[in-house]
Structure 1
Amino acid sequence: MIDEDFVLPDRGDEQEGAPESAVPAGDPDEAVRLFHSYRRLMAQILGYEEELPEPASEEDLAAVEDRFGVVLPPDLRALYGIADGDGDLINALFDRHPWLPLAEIGDQDDEWLDIAQEWQYEPWRRTVFDAQPPNAVLRSSLRPGWIRFAFDTGGNWLAVDMDPGPNGRPGQVISVGVDYTTEPTYIADSVTTFLRRLVEALERGDYRRHDESLWIDADLPQLPVEHATYSEDRPSLARAMRAGPRVQEVRVVDVEDCAFLAAVPEVRSLALSSKGSPDLTPLGDRPVEYLELDVESADLTAPARNRELRSLSITCVRPVELAPLRTVPNLWALDIAAAPVADIATVTQLKGLRYLEVTQDQWRELSELDDLPPLAVVGIHPHRPERDWPSSTDWVTSYDDPPRS
């Protein structure tokens, strides 16, 4: 059962703290100088100068700003005062990202995001990770304040971020799109800095000619910065330390001791598999938002101390008690289909729960209880599932009410 009106929680909406500086880092005068320097260098290298479209009018700029409810950063605004995008240039101004005319800003097809959030792809198991530098970009896949101004033609965009994180600046340049659904990528603190790096790379000779195009090596991220995934059999503290402190996703099997978590203080997505019953105490002070357990038995006391926990999947042999979860303030997704549950009625006390995955027998027992949480998505297995690991499920989706018996 799926409530079609349900909107997935956006982690970026929950981040607290305004940016330390509300002033954009870019300089419109420098951006214009860099623009002309870039064009001059390109003409020298190519042997000809490509023609630009006419400038955008002040009225067109004001209309775009009115539509989005934000003022464009002064440096990008100044560039539109030179040309309304880069037209049909072979060599796009922003290095293989054609610069969009104002008429096309906000006219993007976001089917990529709709697909990523379809329930058969189990978006509740995914975490949007923190970009580098930390807390500069809000942890969302897409936000209204991200104004996309250049396109790579493959489903990704450059955007000026007018809704930055607490350590960011308005007008910073980020990459968003189909390759960035789990981690938007910070590119530069401004369009000005982006252009400066391109110009400096051309001056150094850091480019390759590819037919009529130039591929510029400006040392800018082209794909999401690796958030570091630590995945291993029989993890150890020493090996985890080599993985680095910025590890945000951990998948490990044959867990005997969770001490390795001391070396990954920023882990946000954690999947643990063990033939035994490892001590989960180290989980209590880790910012884990998605937790997947495949163990002999699970004591949820320590994981429940983690106020960041949002999604939990449990596979176990012995009955598990859900009572500790009553103190978890942000838990909205729970998968207990592959676990015998000692206190199934506890589900009625998890008022923030919106996603629930259960067996037919578990749902039958729950449906006889009063005051269930306002569930938006219920996944019901005919029998206890045999889990692949990490977990995934092939769903048949129904938009009707769930079965009551």
Structure 2
Amino acid sequence: MVDQAVRPIVEAIVAKAPNGWTHAVLHGRAGRGGTSVTGGYSRRSEQWNVGMPSPYVELMALAEAVREDRGWEPVSLEIQCRPSGEYQLVAFTDAISRVNGLGSGFQVVLDPDYRLPQPGLHQEPGTAAPAGDPELAVARFRAYLERRAAILGHPDQLPPPASAAAIDEAERRLGRRLPADLRALYMIADGDGIGYENRYLFQGNAWLPLKSVVAEHTDWSGGERPWYGWDLEWEGVVFDTTPTDTVRRCGGHPGWLRFGTSEDGNFLAVDTDPARDGRPGQVISTGRDYDDGPAYVADSITSLLGHYLELLDQGAYEQHGDHISLIEPSCDPDPQQIIGDTPDEVPPTLQAIHINDAKGLVDLAPLTAAPNLRRLHLNRSTTADLTPVRELPVESLRVTLDNGDLTPLSGHPHLTSLDLTTTVPADLTPLRAVPHLRGLDLSGAEVPDPSVLADLTDLRYLSLTGRQWATLLDEGGVPPTVAAARLAEADATLDDALAWAARLGLTTDNALRVTGTLKTTGG
């Protein structure tokens, strides 16, 4: 079946080939979740010509055939073919996958169950009492509904209240008690939707019924956010909120109970496990657009309802049929993130900066004015002095270093990921004293002695060139804790990646290979 399933894909590749092509490579990933394709054609007059077809139906059929033959779901695959009609399929589990974009090559996942720790899990917990008041919340909610009714000319139609037993059961399934003020609102109405019609009472967010609160919590694996893969996660950073130290620095947390949705992957949630300066029951925004961290909204549902009443009293709203949009006061806060050059005046709120295509050496000293800077990325930009980084809580550092001196990073208490490019050979010895270093990309660096890497016993992600990997593997210096690795070779084949992954300890001798020849007139 696999032999038959691959031929239509080869035919599509050959049919779209440009004149004068000599070789074509299709890299793909396919499974029940869909397909993705990269690759291109080589020609005598140029190295690569993109425009590889993406035959979705045929790739899905191939994935199904491989799934039946080997049980792999999804599958990583590579198809190479030539004008002569000769072709080869190599397929394997997605433990090995193609990495595209700036970080090209292949990635292998050696420990699929390991996840990098979220910094918020180690933050000091909050000890303050809840700010919410259930009686006041009920009074404000009823007043809010009355004001809305006066504007709309009719009261909002809401579902019946949830029973005390239903709330108790929801809390049992959540493993958390709802804040008292939110609990009190559910005893007025079980959300704001009837059928498919929502009133969007929480500033454009539909108020979820209890069954949906439980379902959202279950779908998000008890509150943890989805894992997006090592190529995106290894140098990830979670920002702090404003005010600082109120919400845990996590992408998701079991203590965040989503009760409102904007129906685009973003949510309002009550936080039952705040950070040191937070309050239990505080309201936050989280979800699809909050990968850099949650946003603080209010100290309680009670306070949030008070804010809504104030906006209505000020006439700060717009009516669109049966919907009311509250207009928040305009503000221009100092940025958390800057992309471009170092500004003349560095805002103290800055938590991330991406300096792109800088002319000359970049002076990092002005960045010490940002005491919460956590991501410092120099993209196609070079610096000669990392000393200022000593004074900053930088967790993710991407840098081209002109002098190869990593000494300023020795003992850095916050650094978790380093993407290093060098213009001269670099001594990695100072990295032995970076206690929380979890991710390292040295594919752009000249490293005379990679044996130092063997001493980085907490390293979880490592990216090297093929030559660097060969040296390290020959010397037996791969840190034993590495959970994922990248072969940073743009021209590597899946066969190359399989051989490399085998040396790292992954069993690859069951890779699927199919060869054949099409009848073709050539190109």
Q: State the TM-score, normalized to the length of structure 2.
A: 0.69
Cα distance, 1:167 vs structure 2: 0.8
Hey, what does 1:389 align to over in structure 2? none
Q: Secondary structure at the match of 1:105?
A: helix
SS of aligned partner of 1:402: helix
1:250 to 353, 362, 375: 353
Partner of 2:230: 119
Asked whether the 8 Å contact 1:284–1:306 carries over to 2, the reply is: yes
User: What is residue 125 of structure 2 aligned with on the other side?
Assistant: 18
Offset of 1:198 from its aligned partner? 0.6
Is 1:158 aligned to 2:268, yes or no? yes
Asked if residue 63 in structure 1 is aligned to residue 175 in structure 2, the reply is no
Alignment of 1:258-297 (within 5 A): 258-272=364-378, 277-297=383-403
CA contact (8 A) 2:206 2:262 kept: yes
In 2, distance between residues paired with 1:62 and 1:306?
A: 47
Q: Tell me the amino acid that sits aligned with residue 167 of structure 1.
A: D
Q: Does 1:404 align with 2:514?
A: no
C-alpha displacement at 1:262, in angstroms? 2.4
Supply the distance in 2 between the matched residues of 1:277 and 1:205 (Cα, whole angstroms): 52
2:114 aligned residue: 6
- C-alpha change, 1:226 and 1:276, in structure 2 (3 Å) is closer
Q: Render the CA deviation track for 1:179-235: whole Å, top value 9, x for unaligned.
A: 1111200000000011111111111111011233111124499xxx875223444x4
- Number of residues paired by the alignment? 385
2:317–2:326 contact (8 Å) kept in structure 1: yes
2:146 corresponds to: 40
Give 2:410's aligned amino acid: A
Indicate conservation of the 8 Å contact 2:412/2:435, yes or no: no
The amino acid across from 1:119 in the alignment is W
State the distance in 1 between where 2:463 and 2:485 align. 6
What amino acid does structure 1 have at the position aligned with 2:354? R
Q: Could you tell me the percent identity over the aligned residues?
A: 37
Distance change (3 Å), C-alpha of 1:256 and 1:243:
closer
1:329 and 2:435 matched:
yes
- 1:179 alignment partner, SS class: coil
- Counterpart CA distance in 2 for 1:43 and 1:384 is 65
Do the aligned partners of residues 177 and 275 (structure 1) sit closer, same or farther apart at CA in structure 2, a change above 3 Å counting?
closer
Q: CA RMSD in A?
A: 2.8
Give 1:31's aligned residue.
137
Secondary structure, counterpart of 1:141 in structure 2: coil
The structure whose residues are more often strand, as a share, is 2
Match of 1:105 in 2: 213
Matched ranges for 1:6-405 at <5 A: 6-15=114-123, 17-21=124-128, 23-88=129-194, 90-108=198-216, 109-110=219-220, 117-120=228-231, 122-219=232-329, 227-233=335-341, 235=342, 239-240=343-344, 242-252=345-355, 253-254=358-359, 255-272=361-378, 277-370=383-476, 372-382=479-489, 402-404=501-503
Q: Which SS does the other structure have where 1:180 is aligned?
A: coil
CA drift of 1:399 comes to 9.3
Counterpart code for 1:143: H
> Shift of residue 119 of structure 1?
3.2
Once the two structures are overlaid, the 10-residue window that deviates more, 244-253 or 108-117, is: 108-117
State TM-score, norm by structure 1.
0.88
CA distance in 1, matches of 2:500, 2:276: 42
Distance in 1 between residues matched to 2:376 and 2:491, nearest whole Å: 23
274-283 or 249-258, which moves further after superposition?
274-283
Which amino acid letter does the alignment assign opposite residue 106 of structure 1? Answer: V
Cα distance per residue 1:347-400 (max 9 Å; x no partner): 110011000000111111212234623110000123799xxxxxxxxx999799
| Most deviating of 270-279 and 59-68 | 270-279
Q: Which secondary structure state, in structure 1, belongs to the residue aligned with residue 136 of structure 2?
A: helix
Q: Alpha carbons of 1:396 and 1:87: their partners in 2 closer, same or farther (altered >3 Å)? A: farther
Q: 1:384 to 1:397 in 2, by over 3 A?
A: closer
**Structure 2 unpaired stretches of 5+:** 1-107, 505-523
AA partner of residue 228 (structure 2)? Q
Q: In structure 2, what is the Cα distance between the partners aligned to 1:267 and 1:143?
A: 23
Contact 1:131/1:183 (CA < 8 Å) preserved in 2?
yes
1:211 and 1:400 map into 2 onto residues whose CA distance is 63
Alpha carbons 2:207, 2:260 under 8 Å: kept: yes
SS in 2 for 1:302: helix
Unaligned runs of 5+ in 1: 386-394
Distance 1:11 1:368 in 2: 35
- Runs of 4+ in structure 1 off by over 6 angstroms are 111-116, 395-401
Q: Residues of 1 paired with 2:351 and 2:489: CA distance?
A: 34
CA–CA separation in structure 1 for the residues paired with 2:340 and 2:401: 16
Cα offsets for 1:54-104 (capped at 9, x unmatched)? 111111111122222221111001001111111235532212111111111
Task: Kindly provide the CA deviation profile for residues 145-187 of structure 1, in whole angstroms up to 9, marking residues without a partner as x.
Answer: 0000111111011000001111101100000000111120000
Q: Which residue does 2:92 correspond to in 1? A: none
Contact 2:364-2:388 within 8 A present in 1 as well = yes
CA–CA distance in 2 between the matches of 1:396 and 1:102?
Answer: 51
Distance 1:47 1:316 in 2: 68
**Residue identity in the other structure for 1:18:** P
For residues 8-27 of structure 1, the C-alpha deviation after alignment (integer angstroms, 9 at most, x for no partner) is 32121122x22141x21000
Is contact 2:374-2:395 (8 Å) kept?
Answer: yes
CA contact (8 A) 1:275 1:296 kept: no
